[in-house]
Structure 1
Amino acid sequence: MGFVDIIIGALLVFAFYKGLKNGLFVELASLIAFFIGVFIAIKFSYAVSDLLKDFFLWSSKTIQVFAFVLTLVFVVLGIHFIAKLLSSVANFAFLGWANILAGGVFAVIKSALLIGIFLNLFQKVNINDMMISKETQESSLFFNPCMKTSYFLLPILGDWFTDLKEKTANWDKKEVSTKSEEKNKSEEKM
């Protein structure tokens, strides 16, 4: 067991502890909240940005980013509140032990997925195996299994980021056309 295994193992043990502490409903909600939050923020942050334009004199990029983050935070907080409520119901129904144990297992699986995504991104930077050698990667107990867990998630995330990029590009085009229309109107008045 090498240094990489110790780091990944420690992260997985910490995830198990945190999952035991939070329970399944909160752990599941944190994962669902992230994905639903990103999805809703991509789809609806333009509406929030239109509202924010009336209150702030920021650049359109700043307003778009702020609207995205604000939408994401509200969705995550809303789902987290619902999860806490469900955890309270589970504890009241004497299912707290099942909620806690399932939360620990789910937290390990969720963390393995996130570690796998990070390791896949790390491989893009680890050119010619300069940071972590190929031998270390192959002899590692956790490195390759964690990487393999994330393979099915990467295309989904890639599609979401492409969609976000397109939405942002459309906002820029909309702002440029709006500014040119305003300029034309002001020139016509003169």
Structure 2
Amino acid sequence: MNWLDIALVIPLLWFTYKGFRNGLIIELASLAALILGIYVALHFSFYAEEYLRENFEIADKYLYIISFAITFLIVAVLVYLVGKIIHKLVSIVALGFLNRLAGGVFGFLKAALVLSVILYFLNGFDPGMLKAEVKEKSYLYSPIESIVPMIIPGLDLDEMRMPTQEDIRIPV
């Protein structure tokens, strides 16, 4: 066990604990809140943008960001509240421990996926960042690093590129 294993175990344990504490329903609700919040904000934030434009004096360059944030937050909070209600119903039916246990498993899997994505991109953009010797002596590196290629077999970092300053520059 080396420093890389310790760096991988800490988030795995934290996400597992958090998932166990919250339960599967809350964990799924928070994931759904994130995904649905982004989706709805991307596709429907123009309604909020129009409302803000008509009722407030906000510079055009900030309107999209503010309307996106407002739309995202509204959807995320609503989905999370629905998850809380379902969580309460499950607790009443006495499935609480099963919910928590499944939440712990889900938290562990979520952490493994997040760590795999991080390792995949670190290896793709700076292959020398983690020394080969450290990777070889790590018990967790290979199993975690292999998750993303297993889920998305055709993903190729050579075809991707990091955004340049020109890509992310905000017009003033």
Under a length normalisation based on structure 1, what TM-score does the superposition of the two structures give? Answer: 0.72
Rounded to whole Å, the distance in 2 between the matches of 1:155 and 1:81 is 37
Residues 141 and 70 (structure 1 numbering): CA distance in 2 closer, same or farther, change over 3 Å?
farther
Cα distance, 1:26 vs structure 2: 0.3
Cα distance, 1:69 vs structure 2: 1.6
What SS class does the counterpart of residue 150 from structure 1 fall into? helix
Task: Check conservation: 1:117, 1:154, Cα contact below 8 A.
Answer: no
Cα distance, 1:135 vs structure 2: 2.7
Structure 2 gaps of 5+ residues are: 156-170
* Corresponding residue number in structure 2 for 1:145: 143
Rounded to whole Å, the distance in 1 between the matches of 2:51 and 2:68 is 12
Q: What number of residue pairs does the alignment pair up? A: 155
The residue type paired with residue 75 of structure 2 is V
Residues 155 and 48 (structure 1 numbering): CA distance in 2 closer, same or farther, change over 3 Å?
farther
Rounded to whole Å, the distance in 2 between the matches of 1:56 and 1:137 is 54
Q: In proportion to residue count, which structure has more helix?
A: 1
What SS class does the counterpart of residue 146 from structure 2 fall into? helix
Task: Check conservation: 2:52, 2:58, Cα contact below 8 A.
Answer: no
Structure 1 gaps of 5+ residues are: 157-171, 173-190
RMSD value, Cα: 2.4
Q: Structure 1 stretch 57-66 or stretch 17-26: which is displaced more?
A: 57-66
Task: Check conservation: 1:31, 1:110, Cα contact below 8 A.
Answer: no
* Corresponding residue number in structure 2 for 1:78: 78
Runs of 4+ off more than 4 Å: 153-156
Task: Check conservation: 1:114, 1:150, Cα contact below 8 A.
Answer: no
Rounded to whole Å, the distance in 1 between the matches of 2:60 and 2:141 is 42
Task: Check conservation: 2:49, 2:63, Cα contact below 8 A.
Answer: yes
What are the residue-to-residue correspondences of 1:46-57 with 2, within 5 Å? 46-57=46-57
The residue type paired with residue 45 of structure 1 is S
From the CA coordinates, give the structure whose radius of gyration is larger: 1
Rounded to whole Å, the distance in 1 between the matches of 2:152 and 2:48 is 28
Under a length normalisation based on structure 2, what TM-score does the superposition of the two structures give? Answer: 0.79
